[in-house]
Amino acid sequence: MTNSSGTSTTAPATARPLTGRTAVVTGATSGIGAATAVRLAADGASVALLGRREERLKELADRLRPTATGEILPVPVDLTDSAAVGGAARAVRASLGPADLVVANAGAMLGAPFESADTGEWDRMIDVNLRGLLHTARAFTDDLLTAAAGDRPADLVTVGSVAGHQLYPGWSAYCATKAAVAHLVRNLRAEFGPRGVRVRNVEPGVTVTELGDDMRDAGMRESLAGMRTGITPLAAEDIADAVAYSVAAPRHVNIAELVVVPVQQG
């Protein structure tokens, strides 16, 4: 690809640190997931795009393929269905080979005062933020362990939130799911690290994405909008950059917990 002056804008091979790697990104239909898929593909990885909205996955795949040096595979899947996630893992393996880089990003963020919250929203966050992550990690664990045993890089990256260790009134159930993710990752790191798999949790602060758009509580939607306009927030691409930086580190280095916040958030 060239720019208006005729100069090539395609990154040289030396600028593609993930060449030869096979990545899986969940929640790839929008926001941080889509941005991460774009960045990993730009860095040379073959990328499997996992998410519920098939049309969006296909659109993203079509956008990435012209400049990608690796393969791009859209895989529609409901991550709360363990059998479906297992099927998605088999589809990835059949088309791209075993995964050695998994970004478990899919999530739901639904706030409301505890006493008036729709408990169905609690169930959804538990299903997506925790159960979906568990199913994803389990489905690709054997691939990651095999890569590490073969002296190759192997990364399991979860996208948590600073809400896992900070206080946000009205977001108690969401915060609880992210706290669970943070401690799950710490324990998986202790379990898989000695076998060569790097496990890390990337925790964004205030970031502009679609998260929260479907909250039932109008007051909390307004509160979230205020958080995002009251400071200069992060963009999804900022988190994608952090993920890409962490997985491109030397194989013996694990950036175990990465908190990424707007400067004004402190």
- Is the pLDDT reported for residue 11 higher than 80? no
More confident site: 160 or 11: 160
Lowest mean pLDDT among 11-15, 52-56, 93-97, 236-240: 11-15
pLDDT at 266: 87
Q: What is the pLDDT of residues 147-187, one digit of tens each?
A: 999 999 999 999 999 999 999 999 999 999 999 999 999 99
Give mean pLDDT, residues 196-206. Answer: 98
pLDDT at 94: 98
Give mean pLDDT, residues 15-29. Answer: 96
Question: What CA–CA distance (Å, rounded) separates 221 from 226?
Answer: 9
pLDDT over 90 percentage in the chain: 93
Catalytic residues: 174
pLDDT-derived band at 2 (thresholds 50, 70, 90) equals: very low
pTM, to two decimals:
0.92
Report domain extents, the chain.
Answer: 16-260
pLDDT at 6: 44
Check if CATH label 3.40.720.10 holds for domain 16-260: no
